[in-house]
Chains A and B, each alone.
Chain A
Amino acid sequence: MTEHAIVVRHLSKSFGQLEVLHNIDLEIEQGQATCVIGPSGSGKSTFLRCLAFLEEATAGTIEVYGKPLGFSQDSAGRRVRLNSASIRAVRSGIGMVFQQFNLWPHMTALGNVSEALKTVRGIPRAEAEERAMIQLRKIGLENRAGHYPAQLSGGQQQRVAIARALALEPRIMLFDEATASLDPELTGEVLNVMRTLATDGMTMVIVTHEIGFAASIGRKIAFLDKGRLLLAGSAQEVFGKPRNPRIDQFLDTYLDRGAAMLI
């Protein structure tokens, strides 16, 4: 019996009239990688951004280790927004990695990784940088510590972004199409870092187009389609036969692009 890291219940999200997520129920298990896949526009990224509280869900609840994220219900069952300090407290256990890296261009790699340790955690500069160096060493970029993002390759930037999130020792890591803006050669180095994290037992939620990677790393695969959770289960359950016809169709277009050997 695994502990649930995140429990999502009846999550819906609309942008105006457009419903992007519809009534999603999903558990993220402690110590495992959960991969969220699906066609473009299926709401994968929005779902992940709700978990990071970068988007506020319109309905439903998200619990992170038993604590409500963003909204909770009062005694009358109404949805109430929690105060920003409590939101920050729950979020502090969650690290986020973006498709566009989003490194701060005016800080070096070391500055990016140590920034939150200094400003948010209040750790003295020397110690913060020491801890940041440990993270940079883990991803093999200690010799790039003094480089600005503009001086790093895309793959290196994304690894620094991962180190920046890891420096705060989160219990959960979220990856929003972390390799989608990298060329295939650089994708590998980022996937390797993620694979190591998974092996180390990091709880991860990974939104990805890399189906082969998802199948190999994800203990649970969640398939989203048009804002609905079509299916969630092990790679075997999702990709094995007999397959859900919608997933079959999705995989077909994927295999058409010559990725058959990955599955």
Chain B
Amino acid sequence: MRFDLALVASRLPEIFHALGITLVVWIASLIASGIFGFFVAVGRRFGPRWLDYSLGAYVELFRGTPFLIQLFLLYFGGPYVGLSLNAIPAGILGLSIYGAAYFSEIFRTGFEAVPRGHVEAGECVGMNRPQIVLRILLPEMTMLVLPASVNMSIILLKETAVMSVITVPELTLTISAIGTEFYAFVESLFLLALFYWSLVEICGWLGRVGESRLSRYRFAQS
């Protein structure tokens, strides 16, 4: 028995299709969890107290339980309450809700890191609440939370692997199936790790490009 990637490589078209699925579910979840997380953070910062508490409970619940279990419950338990989703939508929805809990915390700390005076300066020139959020807090926060957000994006990418348990035909499911078929577990898992690692590196590189573009003002704090 020897290490032979060619076994697995013969199924490249299938693997690339799976890679596409991984990318789609990842990016869709990333966008949705970013937006949802932002609104959760805004709701907690500016909303009434009851909203802060209920959103806080949501964050605690979804950070406090494994994604695997959340996804199982959503996909297999959803039909009990009339929520029957196909695997891919269920995967995206599940990962978005899970990711938003983390993103909301990143954004919340981002809001807190923007100096109070910058908001007061906005109030003093007559900005209303939405203008302050969109023109001051959001852009200033972006540069503060970028490293943490890149980190979170990477974690979400790797969490897409969990979707294999609800039959989303993404990389992990596809490659491990091929591995089983050829009895080539090591080769397939090695290839799988390589794929994730490459994607993570690309993501990290994009993050660094973003950071350096923002760096011209990010140290601008007195």
Binding site for B on A (CB under 8 A): 52, 54, 84, 88, 91-92, 94-96, 98, 100-106, 115-116, 119-120, 148-151, 154, 157, 161, 164-165, 168, 181
Q: Is B136 an interface residue (CB 8 A)?
A: yes
Q: Which residue of B lies closest to A113 (CB)?
A: B125
New contact pairs (19) apart from A104-B140, A105-B218, CB-CB < 8 Å: A91-B123, A91-B124, A98-B121, A100-B115, A101-B222, A102-B117, A102-B121, A104-B118, A106-B143, A116-B125, A116-B126, A149-B220, A154-B222, A157-B222, A161-B121, A164-B125, A165-B125, A168-B126, A181-B222
Q: Which residue of B lies closest to A120 (CB)?
A: B126
A106 and B115 contact, CB distance less than 8 A: no
User: With a CB–CB cut-off of 8 A, which chain B residues contact A101?
Assistant: 222
B126 and A52 contact, CB distance less than 8 A: no
Within the complex, what minimum Cβ distance (angstroms) separates B46 from chain A?
13
User: With a CB–CB cut-off of 8 A, which chain A residues contact B127?
Assistant: 116, 119-120
Q: Which residue of A lies closest to B131 (CB)?
A: A119
For chain B, give the interface size range: 20 to 34
B121 and A96 contact, CB distance less than 8 A: yes
Within the complex, what minimum Cβ distance (angstroms) separates A31 from chain B?
21
Which residues of B (204-221) have their CB < 8 Å from a CB of A? 216-221
B121 and A104 contact, CB distance less than 8 A: yes
- Bound-complex Cα distance A258 to B144 (A): 43
A102 and B115 contact, CB distance less than 8 A: yes
Residue interface mask B140-154, A partner, CB < 8 A = 1: 100100000000000
Q: Which residue of B lies closest to A105 (CB)?
A: B220
Q: Name 15 A/B residue pairs within 8 A (Cβ), A-sorted.
A: A54-B123, A88-B128, A91-B123, A96-B120, A101-B222, A102-B117, A102-B121, A105-B118, A106-B143, A115-B125, A116-B127, A119-B135, A150-B217, A164-B125, A165-B125
Q: What is the predominant secondary structure among interface residues of chain B facing chain A?
A: helix
B140 and A106 contact, CB distance less than 8 A: yes
Q: Which among A91, A105, A181 is the interface contact of B140 at CB below 8 angstroms?
A: A105
B217 and A105 contact, CB distance less than 8 A: yes
User: With a CB–CB cut-off of 8 A, which chain A residues contact B139?
Assistant: 106
- Bound-complex Cα distance A100 to B119 (A): 13
A168 and B125 contact, CB distance less than 8 A: yes
Q: Which among A88, A92, A102 is the interface contact of B118 at CB below 8 angstroms?
A: A102
Within the complex, what minimum Cβ distance (angstroms) separates B122 from chain A?
8
Within the complex, what minimum Cβ distance (angstroms) separates A177 from chain B?
12
- Bound-complex Cα distance A149 to B117 (A): 15
User: With a CB–CB cut-off of 8 A, which chain B residues contact A116?
Assistant: 125-127
- Bound-complex Cα distance A101 to B120 (A): 11
A54 and B125 contact, CB distance less than 8 A: no
Q: Which residue of B lies closest to A84 (CB)?
A: B128
A102 and B120 contact, CB distance less than 8 A: yes
- Bound-complex Cα distance A157 to B118 (A): 13
Q: Which residue of B lies closest to A98 (CB)?
A: B117
Q: Which residue of B lies closest to A93 (CB)?
A: B126
Q: Which residue of A lies closest to B124 (CB)?
A: A96
User: With a CB–CB cut-off of 8 A, which chain B residues contact A181?
Assistant: 222
A-B pairs, 7 with minimum CB distance: A150-B220, A105-B220, A116-B125, A102-B117, A96-B124, A102-B121, A120-B126
A100 and B140 contact, CB distance less than 8 A: no
B219 and A150 contact, CB distance less than 8 A: yes
User: With a CB–CB cut-off of 8 A, which chain B residues contact A148?
Assistant: 216-217, 220
A94 and B222 contact, CB distance less than 8 A: no
Q: Which among A91, A149, A151 is the interface contact of B126 at CB below 8 angstroms?
A: A91
User: With a CB–CB cut-off of 8 A, which chain B residues contact A151?
Assistant: 216
- Bound-complex Cα distance A94 to B121 (A): 12
Q: Which residue of B lies closest to A150 (CB)?
A: B220
B217 and A52 contact, CB distance less than 8 A: no
A52 and B220 contact, CB distance less than 8 A: no
- Bound-complex Cα distance A192 to B135 (A): 31
- Bound-complex Cα distance A92 to B140 (A): 24
Within the complex, what minimum Cβ distance (angstroms) separates B210 from chain A?
13
Within the complex, what minimum Cβ distance (angstroms) separates B131 from chain A?
5
